[in-house]
Amino acid sequence: MTEIRKCKVLIIGAGPGGYVAGIRAGQLGLDTVIVEGNKAGGVCLNVGCIPSKAIIHAAERFESLQKHSVKEGHMGLTVEGTAKLNMAELTNWKDGIVNKLTNGVDALLKNAGVEVIKGWARFTEAKRCIVNTDDGEITIEAENVIIATGSSHIDLPFMPCDEEFILSSSGALSLNKLPKSVAIVGGGYIGLELGCALTKLGSEVTIVEGTDNILSIMDKEIRRPLEIWLKKNKVTIHTNSLARGAEIKGKGASRKVNLIFDKNDENHTLKVDKILVTVGRRPNSKGWGIENMGIRMDASGNFIRIDRQCRTSAPGIYAIGDVAGEPMLAHKASAQGEMVAEIIAGKNREFDKIAIPAIVFTEPEIVSVGLDPEQAKNRGEHVIIGKFPLAANGRALTLEAEKTGGFVRVVARKDDHVILGIQAVGSHVAELSGEFILALEMGALLEDIADTVHAHPTMTESFHESVMKTLGHAIHSA
pLDDT band at 250 (very low <50, low <70, confident <90, very high): confident
pLDDT of residue 403: 80
Q: Evaluate if residue 251 carries a pLDDT over 90.
A: no
The share of the chain scoring above pLDDT 90, in percent, equals 87
Q: Are 46 and 366 in contact (CB under 8 A)?
A: no
The CATH label, of 3.40.50.880, 3.40.50.10470, 3.40.50.720, 3.50.50.60, for the domain at 166-279 is: 3.50.50.60
Answer yes or no: same fold for 3-47+92-152+282-344 and 358-471.
no
User: What is the rounded average pLDDT of the residues 330-354?
Assistant: 96
| 367: nearest Cα among 262, 259, 241, 460 | 460
What are the angstrom distances between the C-alpha of 16 and each of 103, 331, 369?
14, 7, 21
Helices in 112-219 by DSSP H: which ranges?
169-172, 189-201
Q: Is 456 a catalytic residue?
A: yes
User: What is the rounded average pLDDT of the residues 312-324?
Assistant: 97
Q: Evaluate if residue 114 carries a pLDDT over 60.
A: yes
Cis-peptide into 457, omega within 30 deg: yes
Q: Are 369 and 355 in contact (CB under 8 A)?
A: yes
Cβ-based burial of 342 (10 A; exposed 0-12, middle 13-18, buried ≥19): middle
Between 313 and 80, residue with greater pLDDT: 313
pLDDT tens track for 156-201: 999 999 999 999 999 999 999 999 999 999 999 999 999 999 999 9
> What integer best gives the mean pLDDT of the chain?
94
pLDDT of residue 253: 76
pLDDT of residue 135: 87
CATH superfamily entry for domain 358-471:
FAD/NAD-linked reductase, C-terminal dimerisation domain (3.30.390.30)
pLDDT of residue 193: 97
Contacts 24+ apart (CB under 8 A), 306-309: 308/350, 308/351, 308/352, 309/339, 309/340, 309/343, 309/349, 309/350, 309/351
∠ CA(352), CA(358), CA(364), 5° rounding? 160
Among residues 331, 417, 456, 476, which one is catalytic?
456
Sequence letter at residue 320: I
Q: Which residues touch 57 (CB under 8 Å, ≥6 apart)?
A: none
Q: Are 217 and 280 in contact (CB under 8 A)?
A: no
The domain limits of the chain are 3-47+92-152+282-344, 166-279, 358-471
Q: Are 284 and 147 in contact (CB under 8 A)?
A: no
pLDDT of residue 82: 85
Q: Give dist(CA 316, CA 167) in Å, integer.
A: 39
Q: Are 464 and 450 in contact (CB under 8 A)?
A: yes
pLDDT of residue 215: 96
User: What is the rounded average pLDDT of the residues 298-325?
Assistant: 96
User: What is the rounded average pLDDT of the residues 106-116?
Assistant: 96
Q: Evaluate if residue 1 carries a pLDDT over 60.
A: no
pLDDT tens track for 390-440: 999 999 999 988 788 899 999 999 999 999 999 999 999 999 999 999 999
Cβ-based burial of 224 (10 A; exposed 0-12, middle 13-18, buried ≥19): middle
The share of the chain scoring above pLDDT 70, in percent, equals 99
What are the angstrom distances between the C-alpha of 198 and each of 26, 52, 133, 302, 363?
41, 11, 38, 33, 11
pLDDT of residue 151: 96
pLDDT of residue 304: 97
Q: Evaluate if residue 339 carries a pLDDT over 70.
A: yes
**3-47+92-152+282-344 adopts what CATH topology?**
FAD/NAD(P)-binding domain (3.50.50)
Taking only Cα atoms into account, the Rg of the chain, rounded to an integer number of angstroms, comes to 24
Between 36 and 69, residue with greater pLDDT: 36
Q: Evaluate if residue 478 carries a pLDDT over 70.
A: no
pLDDT tens track for 68-93: 887 678 888 888 888 899 999 999 99
